[in-house]
Amino acid sequence: MSLDPSLGYAAGSATDTALPVFDVQKVQLRFDISADFVAAQVANNVLILALSTGRILRFDLDNAEDIDDIDLPKRPAEIGVIRKLFLDPSASHLIISTTLGENFYLHTQSRQPKALAGLKGVQVESIAWNPSQPTASTREILVGAADGNVYETFIEPTTEFYRRQEKFVRNVYNTQDGAVVGLYADVLSARPDTRRVMVATAHKLLHFSGRTGRQGSEGSGSVYAKLFEGETPAVNEVDRTGGNAASMLVTTPDSPDPPPSTIDSQGVDRAYAWLTTQGIFNGQLITTAADPAVLGRQLFRESKMLTPSKLPPMQTSGGRPRTQQPPVSSITLTQHHILAFVEGRLTGINRLDESIVYNQQVLDPATPTLGLFADHQKSTYWLFTQTEIFEVVVTDESRDLWRILLQQSKYEEAQRYAKTAEQKDAVASMTGDHLISQGKFAEAAVVLGKSTKAFEDVCLTFIDKGEQDALRKYLLVKLASLGKKAVMQRMMVASWLVELFMAKLNQLDDTISTKAELTATQSMVSAADTKKLLPATRKEFQDFVTRNKADLDPKTVYEVISSHGREEELLFFANVVEDYNYVIAYWVQRERWTEAMAVLKRQTTPEMFYRYSTVLMAQQSVAVELAEVLMRQQGLGVKKLIPALLNYNRIVGGSVTLAQNQAVRYLLFCVNHAESKEPAVHNTLISLYAAHPSKDESALLGYLQTQADLHQQCYDADFALRLCRAHGRVRSAVHIFVGMGCFGEAVELALKYEDDGEDAGGKGWGRYVELAADVADRPGNDEALRKKLWLKVAKKVIGRSKGIKSAIEFLKRCELLRIEDLIPFFPDFVVIDDFKEEICAALEDYSRRIEGLRVEMDESAGTAEHIREDIKKLDQRYAIVEPGERCWKCRLPLLMRQFFVFPCQHAFHADCLGEMVMQSVGMGKGKRIRELRTEIGRGVAMGKRREGMVKELDGLVAGACVLCSDMAVKMIDEPFVTAADNREEWAV
């Protein structure tokens, strides 16, 4: 981490990937330090510095202004100088060890260190913190001492003065090999009581793994004692020659990107490094093994020693290499490298191939240092001297790991660390070649499909080796990686995949049918297993088609699948691309009407119904279902379905009743429910009714009567009439004639047909005669037409050989017929006795009518005489005008000027009456009145011409009273009060 210079101290930062992996940057301190540093620790962005004066400085690197200045309870002269600090990864707990064996504990929320009485006199060299990363308490931790003892303790901070900080302190192990320079503990599995403990001395590294104890409540007793007592450690020992060089045990920090499945850093394999006189022994802290009992031996076996000879040689002051390599004074681990500090020089070594990635002299060789330190949670790295602080800035340290792992044939790990497209491609290509060499063709297909290795090379490799399944998988991966703009490439690959799928499905079908075993390249799968593989492959094909239907050319795919005879796959593809036209055509060609109907009834496109209704409607097995489907569809053009209905009627209609006729059923639905007004629909329905072989025309007649009742005629009457006459539908034809007002033609048509003489009335004249008689009564008030029609009926009835008596009885139904009208129709040889009574009744009726006419003539003569007398009296009529009589318009005295008096006693001045008349009469009559008044006023006309004009004007103006005649009725919409009137006169 780089410190912000604006907050008191700073180090530079490097984010450019072109910069070196490691860079040592000095932290500029912005405050004075009164004494040298004697110990330091960094964890979770918290920096702890111990001064030789006994002071402890605690920095929060996230907030550089937050500095805690802490003093030990006693002076250094009493307890000794601070020699080491131990800070847990969460920075919650700090243990301070002095040179005189005094140990103190400081919690992150406290500023007062507490003495650890249980550890008094113990020179603490190392601590293994609890894997659970505690906060409130340390839980069980292991303490390594300079005398080789390992203690277990549980520290819980308390504010009570007499209460000890540690719940217990127990000696659980002794190395018998000097100081314990390093301790590490972690959890091996999900069970919290199974742990691993590593104990390091200068010459031995011990590995314990097994179950730990758990006694009562937390902190009540040791948990590690059982592990040390019951387990035999795996031991790795080095040569004891080499002097008293520095020794320590370090582990890698927490991974910044842990696997998704892990909850904390304990689920990730870490690396460790043990600094010895012989070099740096390092390896992976594996957490699982084939046999858990030999986990330690396997771990040491897989670890390796980085000898000093592999480090860059040190040089003398004269620039020559030194004959003896100085020992490493301090080490720390980054995620992938080892940082070693040797006499002021910092060296970075890659743990995978032991290559040197950084080697820089950062300090004077004689400068005393406190060593290298790592923040395990924040992955920052530090170098402390007695007066200065340096940060080792790491920039993209995994940049070259993919290449190293690739060289070591660790392909899966190389894929994880490849970042750029070029890196990933290089890894994929080499990984694929490696998998092919091992015969792992399916895995190679997936990897190579994501690479840019030549497409043709990969395909030919799989083809040469006969790996069609791998080729198919490779093409699937390659298709998924192609861009959407590569239309042609995607289409070609997708079409090839269809061919491979079809070949595979045919191969599986052949294997099942012959019950043979597959070839060795297919792992000797039996026919029974092939039955399970077949649906899986078919499902894979279906998923492929569904996912990539946009990349498939329908015509090409149809040809490929058809060439393999794969009916099911062919139909599946057509359904996926929604080519229902092809599906229906496919079933129709094979006369699979039920399947075709199943597809059609799921459609909503009208064109589909127009195209296939003709052939499907002709199949009686699906005609009913098709009619129901058509009735459920919205927006169908019924006119376009008429050919299908007529074809159905031609093929099937004659063999079923009208109630079972689906064409009639659908047309009735269109007429009655959809309320279609299309003449073609109604005409088609009439043609189906008329052409049906049944003699019963009640359905047709019922339809025609319904149309008449609705007062609408959507059919073509002439067309319907021709059909009815052509097919002998007499009653219907008569009904149409009546609807057209052609009563004469209707009667003639009804009388044209002879029948068996039986009708509903039982009269014996036949139903057509009865029909003609019924039509003859239709004209109603038109007695002349009725009589004419009945005469036609009479001629037919009298001409029948059923007797004159019965004919006359039948004709009595029309009161307009007289015996004299019927006589011309009687045959010459008829006997008058048969209708003597009718003749006498007719003569008596004539006599009564003559007498009535005579009376009417007398009454008319008397009326004429009265009228002549009234006309004579008109010349002597007069009206009395009183002296005070006023004009009904202007209300001025009537005698002031010329006036008119009407029999109703209304009187008006001549000019006032003229104005009122002109307001109520039309434009023509008003214009004439103005012309006459102008001519008379000018005095141009004289004599008789003037008299005629005056007489005409008087007739126009005084023809009727404007208040009593029809002119007053025409003025009913005019208001009583107009804009020219004074409204106050009307106030109530």
Instruction: Produce one character per residue of 394-410: b if its CB has 16 or more CB atoms within 10 Å, e if not.
Output: bbebbbbbbbbbbeeeb
What is the average per-residue pLDDT within 899-926? Answer: 84
pLDDT at 384 over 70: yes
Q: How far apart are CA 157 and CA 636, in angstroms?
A: 86
Nearest to 50 by CA among 68, 66, 24, 28: 68
Give the least confident one: 13-17, 383-387, 778-782.
13-17
Give the least confident one: 127-131, 175-179, 339-343, 705-709.
705-709
Q: Please say whether the beta carbons of 195 and 185 come within 8 A.
A: yes
What is the average per-residue pLDDT within 818-822? Answer: 56
pLDDT at 406 over 80: no
Tokens 């202004």 correspond to 65
pLDDT at 91 over 80: yes
Nearest to 387 by CA among 4, 27, 2, 22: 27
Per the structure block, which two tokens stand in for 985?
Answer: 């006169």
pLDDT at 181 over 90: yes
Q: How far apart are CA 530 and CA 635, in angstroms?
A: 49
pLDDT at 533 over 80: yes
pLDDT at 580 over 60: yes
Q: How confident is the model at residue 776 (pLDDT cuts 50, 70, 90)?
A: low
Q: How confident is the model at residue 757 (pLDDT cuts 50, 70, 90)?
A: very low
Residue-level pLDDT at 337: 92
pLDDT at 808 over 90: no
pLDDT at 391 over 90: yes
pLDDT at 215 over 60: no
pLDDT at 170 over 80: yes
Give the least confident one: 564-568, 844-848, 914-918, 962-966.
844-848
Q: Please say whether the beta carbons of 771 and 797 come within 8 A.
A: no
What is the average per-residue pLDDT within 946-974? Answer: 80
What is the average per-residue pLDDT within 231-253? Answer: 88
Mean pLDDT is highest, among 18-27, 101-110, 790-799, 870-879, for 101-110
* DSSP code of residue 321: B
Instruction: Produce one character per residue of 824-839: b if its CB has 16 or more CB atoms within 10 Å, e if not.
Output: ebbeeeeeeeebeebe
Helix (H) / strand (E) containing 415: helix 411-417
What is the average per-residue pLDDT within 500-504? Answer: 89
pLDDT digits (tens, 9 = 90+) for 854-883: 888 888 888 888 888 877 776 677 778 888
pLDDT at 635 over 50: yes
Give 823-841 as a DSSP string.
GGGS-TT--GGGGHHHHHH
Q: 919: how many CB neighbours lie within 10 A of its CB?
A: 12
pLDDT at 144 over 80: yes
| Cβ-proximal residues to 213 (8 Å cutoff; 6+ apart), any chain | 193, 221, 222, 223, 224, 225, 226, 227
Task: Please tell me whether residue 456 adopts helix, strand or coil conformation.
Answer: helix
Amino acid at 665: R
Q: Please say whether the beta carbons of 357 and 312 come within 8 A.
A: no
pLDDT at 530 over 80: no
Per the structure block, which two tokens stand in for 910?
Answer: 């001549």
Per the structure block, which two tokens stand in for 156?
Answer: 């819980």
* DSSP code of residue 354: -
Q: 445: how many CB neighbours lie within 10 A of its CB?
A: 25
Give 759-828 as a DSSP string.
-TT--SS-HHHHHHHHHHTTTTT-HHHHHHHHHHHHHHHHHSSS-HHHHHHHHTT-TT--HHHHGGGS-T
Q: What are phi and psi of 129, to 5 degrees?
A: -75, 160
Q: Where are the beta strands (DSSP E) in 823-970?
A: 899-901, 907-909
Q: Which residue has the higher pLDDT, 213 or 216?
A: 213
pLDDT at 761 over 60: no
Nearest to 545 by CA among 476, 614, 591, 487: 476
Q: Please say whether the beta carbons of 257 and 240 come within 8 A.
A: no
What are the residue ranges of helices labelled H in 160-290? 225-230
Cα(first)–Cα(last) distance of the chain, in Å? 103
What is the average per-residue pLDDT within 473-494? Answer: 89
Residue-level pLDDT at 795: 66
What is the average per-residue pLDDT within 262-280? Answer: 72
Q: How far apart are CA 682 and CA 377, in angstroms?
A: 88
Q: Please say whether the beta carbons of 976 and 970 come within 8 A.
A: no
pLDDT digits (tens, 9 = 90+) for 115-127: 999 999 999 999 9
pLDDT at 13 over 60: no
Q: How confident is the model at residue 610 (pLDDT cuts 50, 70, 90)?
A: confident
Instruction: Produce one character per residue of 567-582: b if its CB has 16 or more CB atoms within 10 Å, e if not.
Output: eebbbbbbbebebbbb
Cα Rg of the chain (Å, integer): 61
Task: Give me the percent of the chain exceeding a pLDDT of 70.
Answer: 84
Q: Which residue has the higher pLDDT, 409 or 648?
A: 648
What is the average per-residue pLDDT within 103-129? Answer: 93
Name the average pLDDT for the chain: 81
* DSSP code of residue 710: T
Tokens 């057209």 correspond to 740
Task: Give me the percent of the chain exceeding a pLDDT of 90.
Answer: 23
Residue-level pLDDT at 641: 86
